[in-house]
Structure 1
């Protein structure tokens, strides 16, 4: 069975705009996904990237145009300047890690609920009540927000180290069994083609 490691940040606009397209591709090809939330700002620092606020104005302007275009293409609600961004990524990431370890709910739904809360619903995904609501909505025990903090912190840090070692430099980033790497929500069609044996 094919497998995909999905490295992403819970505050990444591009991870939000990916929607559930990668999950549909995985289902189509009978592939599994392991979600690996990480600190994308730390990833930038480790891999030669620059935080959005520190980029040249031409890059900032282009990013603003491109995000709006991509949201329209995906027909997804999107706020270019959400009230709570950037925010602390760790609590929501720990919740994803705890939910993945616990099983029994819709992990994809949880990830997308957190991303949607940030980029479309003006919610602060560092807050416990927001995280608990997302967990509950995805069929998980809201108490997972309080459990496994040590494991969550260790896995969160390990995900960053693994990402750096495996050539990840942005979010979302998909890596297949054969170490084929696909960066960005605009490469999901290529991921599909690769899993089909066409690319």
Structure 2
């Protein structure tokens, strides 16, 4: 059975635009997914990237245009200047880690719920109330927001180290068990072709 290591951040706009297409592709092709939320800004600094706010103004302007275009293609609303971005992604990422460990809900929808909260709903995903609400809405016990904080923090840091070692440098980033690497929501089609042995 093919497997995908999925590196992402709950504050990444491109993770938001990806929606649940990864899960659809995995299901259609008999693949499993391990969700690995991480500190995206730290990943940038470790792999030669630059945080959006520190990029040259021409790159910042292009990014806003590209986000608008990609969101339109995906058919999702987007606020290009959300009220709560950047924010501390760690608490929501810990919640994803706890949810994956607990099982029972819809993990892809949970990730989408957090990213949608940032990029379309003007919610602060570092707020415990918001985290609980999104956990509950996606089939998880809201108390997961309180459980496993230490293990969540350890996994969050471990995910960053694994991403750097595996060759990931942005989000969303997908790596198959054949070490085929795909960066960006616009590479999900290529990921599927790879799973099918066509690339």
The alignment's TM-score, normalised by the length of structure 1, stands at: 0.99
Q: Distance between the aligned counterparts of 1:196 and 1:167, measured in 2? A: 22
Q: Secondary structure at the match of 2:36?
A: strand
Question: Match of 1:138?
Answer: 138
1:21-44 CA distance string (max 9 Å, x none): 111110110101110000000000
Q: Secondary structure at the match of 1:147?
A: coil
Q: Secondary structure at the match of 1:109?
A: helix
Q: Distance between the aligned counterparts of 2:107 and 2:198, measured in 1? A: 29
Q: Secondary structure at the match of 2:198?
A: coil
Runs of 4+ in 1 over 6 A off after TM superposition: none
Question: Match of 1:17?
Answer: 17
Question: Match of 1:85?
Answer: 85
Question: Match of 1:127?
Answer: 127
1:109 CA displacement: 1.0
Aligned residues: 199
Q: Secondary structure at the match of 2:162?
A: helix
Q: Distance between the aligned counterparts of 2:10 and 2:19, measured in 1? A: 13
Q: Secondary structure at the match of 2:7?
A: strand
1:105 CA displacement: 0.7
1:20 CA displacement: 0.7
Question: Match of 1:61?
Answer: 61
- Which 5+ residue runs of structure 1 have no aligned equivalent? none
1:160 CA displacement: 0.2
Q: What RMSD over aligned residues (CA atoms) do the two structures have, in Å? A: 0.4
Question: Match of 1:74?
Answer: 74
Question: Match of 1:186?
Answer: 186
Q: Secondary structure at the match of 1:33?
A: strand
**How does 1:31-70 map onto structure 2 within 5 Å?**
31-70=31-70
